[in-house]
Amino acid sequence: MKKIFVSCCMIALLLFPVCSSIGFAAGSDDLSNIETSDFDFVVLAKNQSTSVSAGLSSALEPNITTVTLKGSGSGTFSASMSRNNTKGELVYIYQFFPGVPTSAFNIGITPVTMRVSSSIPNLDDGAVFGFVITGILFTLEEPPYGYNVSLSF
């Protein structure tokens, strides 16, 4: 129950600045024209993997993938990001699971494939909820920006 509460609080903390900044950034413009981030939702059981595609309209826009891990026992969750069609971009991947004592962060310059992983200690108490946040910090390329994020458990 504590994990669910912490997870819900983290979602609220992540969405509050995004939602509140939309109104300030819009002014008299139409809110439907403003894009703030790319969201994906993934549920994985043990020994499963999937891939999500990020389509970003600006360089500082994050791709936020919420991940729910189900099963029993313990395991290792890993996420990787590939962006190989450009050179000189500064990209990052961050992985965070509330209630799990480790998080992972990696930063690189394209062309690159980066991987982060975390040990998930115990799924017997219920599903574990977390986030994988990826993005581009600096680029000279013109938008839109796209890359793949692979997730496995």
Both tokens of 44, joined, read: 């994985």
pLDDT grade for 23, boundaries at 50, 70 and 90: very low
**How many domains, in total, are found in the chain?**
1
Q: Is residue 26 part of a domain?
A: no
Q: Is residue 4 part of a domain?
A: no
Q: Is residue 16 part of a domain?
A: no
Range of the domain at 109: 35-152
Share above pLDDT 90 across residues of the chain, in percent, rounded to a whole number: 37
| pLDDT of 76 higher than 80 | yes
Q: Is residue 138 part of a domain?
A: yes
Residue that wins the pLDDT comparison between 122 and 64: 64
Q: Is residue 10 part of a domain?
A: no
pLDDT at 26: 46
**Tell me, what CATH number does 107's domain have?**
2.60.120.380
Q: Is residue 3 part of a domain?
A: no
DSSP output for 27-92 = TTS-GGG----EEEEEEEETT-EEEEEEEESSTT--EEEEEEEESSS-EEEEEEEEE-S-SS-EEE
| pLDDT of 8 higher than 60 | no
pLDDT grade for 59, boundaries at 50, 70 and 90: confident
* C-alpha count within 13 angstroms, C-beta hemisphere, residue 31: 7
**Mean pLDDT, residues 100-117 taken together:** 89
